[in-house]
Amino acid sequence: MMSYMFYMIFVIPLFNYSFWYCYQFIYMFFIFIFMFSPSEFNLCSFSYLFGVDYISYSLIILSFYIVSLMNLASLMLMNNSYFLFINYTICFLLLIIFSSVNMLLMYISFEFILIPLMILILGWGYQPERLRSGIYLFFYTLFGSLPLFIFILYLYMDFNMICFVFDLNLNFNFIAHLSVIIPFLIKFPMFMLHFWLPKAHVQAPISGSMILAGLMLKIGGYGLIRFMYLNEDFFYKYSYIWFSFGILGSLMVSLICLIQVDLKCLIAYSSVAHMSLCLMGILTMSKLGMFGSLIMMLSHGLCSSGLFCLANICYVRINSRSLYLIKGMIFFMPSMSIFWFLFSSFNMGCPPSINFLGELMIIMSSIYYFDLSYYYLFLGSFFCACFCFYLYSCSQHGSFSDSFSYSNIFASEFLLLINHLYPLVLLLFWFIIF
């Protein structure tokens, strides 16, 4: 793994020539390398402070893929070296987070990634409210993660150990458990800790929304899995508390989505609902729930990012995100209607997408963990289908102001949406075969 880090550092001087194409080539090159590298349930490619297993392996490939699509979605900034280097920095920090076996190094990267993300939101955001959304994002993450830093120092001072490869069977109290889990619940985000997410999503540029929905929310799930393997009894004792918040969040946020009038805000709240399901799957502490949560994180990273791309395509042409004004898009952009339908269907978990497989695994593991959760999961899935139908019908149907139909879509936008779409379907067949 250390060799991959040096690869990413030493290719930086190449970016003086043809910035955009060099970045895209490097991302595709690293995806190609990782696809043919070994991935096992235990740590492999172990070197110094880094190592990968099947969880970090899939999330690293997703990181390179989403960041390359971020550059494709921002072709207006293809000659802006600062913007491209910010994206490259985010990708490098995500590689460190997902491959680190050292708690302190993961924590430093976890905090440092806020800086390029804040630059992305404040520098290329749309509205003056991006200043407030950046402050929400910064302080939620900073104050939530400070107790984790104290816990890491405590482990180092008392046990001389800050690596994930050990199994600690220690009897900590609830305060210690809260200090470990709260920064990752904020990153998920869990219901009641999600207030920063709609603000950050709405005010961020398209690349910021893609990185937030596609990758930043996955840091929370990855951190929970890593610290849960560190001390399973520690999590087993208190997991019912956060499992209850997950059930409540999936149901309540689905109802909140039905009253949203901002297109990006609705998609952001749908991310909270799906991440609540993912939280439930992780906290069941079963192999089925863990694997379902991993599939949910991968599928949500592609599906939610694609929905934000569709919202941005409408925004740059209509100059509005209001569902009251974005009506009849099937007449204005008929070629986009099929993408709206597919992404809305996949967002509610319809086959043949991996969303369906992930939700099925999470529901099965949740019922095994708590049998009465069946009723809440049924209502949550029903309201999730309702707000996805609401999103599609409000944006596509209705009366548009113009009386003619034409397609004003660029080929790069079709390429962007297809690259979001085909992994959602192909990965399902890959999981079924293997």
Instruction: Give per-residue pLDDT as tens, 379-420.
Output: 988 999 999 999 999 888 887 665 555 567 888 899 999 999
**Inter-residue contact 311 to 267 (CB < 8 Å):** yes
Q: What angle do CA 333, 121, 346 make, to 5 degrees?
A: 45
Quick check: 239 pLDDT over 90?
no
Decide if 85 is inside a domain.
no
Q: Which pLDDT does position 15 carry in this prediction?
A: 63
Number of domains the chain is built from: 1
Instruction: Print burial letters for 33-52: b (CB count within 10 Å at least 16), e (below 16).
Output: ebeeeebeeebebbeebbbb
Quick one: how far is CA 201 from the chain centroid?
A: 12
Bigger pLDDT: 332 vs 72: 72
Token pair in block for residue 170: 């220690």
The sign of the CA dihedral 175, 181, 187, 190 is: negative
What's the average model confidence in pLDDT over 45-63?
82
**pLDDT single digits (tens) 186-234:** 988 888 888 888 888 888 888 888 988 888 888 989 999 888 887 777 7
**pLDDT tens digits along 129-169:** 888 888 888 888 888 888 899 888 888 887 777 888 666 66
- Count CB neighbours of 157 within 10 A: 8
Q: In the predicted model, what is the mean pLDDT of residues 300-313?
A: 92
Checking if the pLDDT of 278 tops 80, the result is: yes
Instruction: Report the predicted TM-score, pTM, of the whole model to 2 decimal places.
Output: 0.92
Q: Kindly report the backbone phi and psi dihedral angles of residue 11, in degrees, each rounded to the nearest multiple of 5, phi listed first.
A: -85, -5
Within-domain flag for 272: yes
Whether the pLDDT of residue 345 is over 70: the answer is: yes
Whether the per-residue pLDDT at 342 is higher than 90: the answer is yes
More confident residue, 7 or 109: 109
Q: Is the pLDDT of residue 77 over 60?
A: yes
Q: What is the mean pLDDT of the chain?
A: 85
Q: What is the dihedral of CA 136, 64, 190, 131, to 10 degrees?
A: 10
Cis omega before residue 189 (within 30°)? yes
- Model confidence at 365, pLDDT cuts 50, 70, 90, reads very high
Residue type, 78: M
pLDDT for position 302: 92
Residue 41: pLDDT band with limits 50, 70, 90: low
Burial group, residue 17, by CB count within 10 angstroms (0-12, 13-18, 19+): exposed
pLDDT > 80? residue 46: no
Query: Can you tell me the mean pLDDT for 71-90?
Result: 86
In a domain, 42, yes or no: no
Q: Does residue 242 fall inside a structural domain?
A: yes
194, part of any domain: yes
**What percentage of the chain has pLDDT greater than the value 70?**
91
- What would the two tokens of residue 306 be? 């694609």
Measured N-to-C along each axis, helices 287-318 and 54-73 cross at an angle, to the nearest 10 degrees, of: 0
Q: Is 387 exposed, middle or buried (0-12, 13-18, 19+ CB in 10 A)?
A: buried
Lowest mean pLDDT: which of 9-23, 85-99, 134-148, 325-339? Answer: 9-23
Residue 49 lies in a domain: no
- pLDDT level of residue 16 (50, 70, 90 thresholds): low
The answer to whether 104 and 76 have CB atoms below 8 angstroms apart is no
Residue 253 within any structural domain of the chain = yes
For residue 33, tell me if it sits in a domain. no
**In the prediction, which pLDDT does 405 show?**
54
Given this model, what pLDDT does residue 174 score?
82
Mean pLDDT lowest among 41-55, 237-251, 416-430? 41-55
Q: What is the pLDDT of residue 403?
A: 52
Distance CA 307, CA 327 (A): 17
Residue 218 one-letter amino acid:
K
What percentage of the chain exceeds 90 in pLDDT?
25
User: In this predicted structure, which of 41-55, 295-309, 357-371 has the lowest mean pLDDT?
Assistant: 41-55
Q: How confident is the model at residue 297 (pLDDT cuts 50, 70, 90)?
A: very high
Exposed/middle/buried for residue 432 (C-beta within 10 Å: 0-12, 13-18, 19+): exposed
Q: What residue numbers bound the domain in which 259 lies? A: 131-208+227-433
Q: Which helix (H) or strand (E) holds 47?
A: strand 44-47
- The overall longest dimension of the chain from CA atoms, in Å, is 73
Evaluate whether 58 touches 294 at the Cβ level (below 8 Å): yes
Residue 310: per-residue pLDDT: 92
Q: Which of 131, 165, 136, 156 is nearest to 50 (CA)?
A: 165
Q: Decide if 329 contacts 400 (C-beta within 8 A).
A: yes
- Under the banding of pLDDT at 50, 70 and 90, the label for residue 170 is low
Structure confidence at residue 432 (pLDDT): 62
Q: What is the DSSP string of 84-147?
A: HHHHHHHHHHHHHHHHB-BHHHHHHHHHHTHHHHHHHHHHH-SSTTHHHHHHHHHHHHHHHHHH
Segment 287-301 mean pLDDT: 91
Closest by Cα among 49, 271, 82, 258 to 165: 49
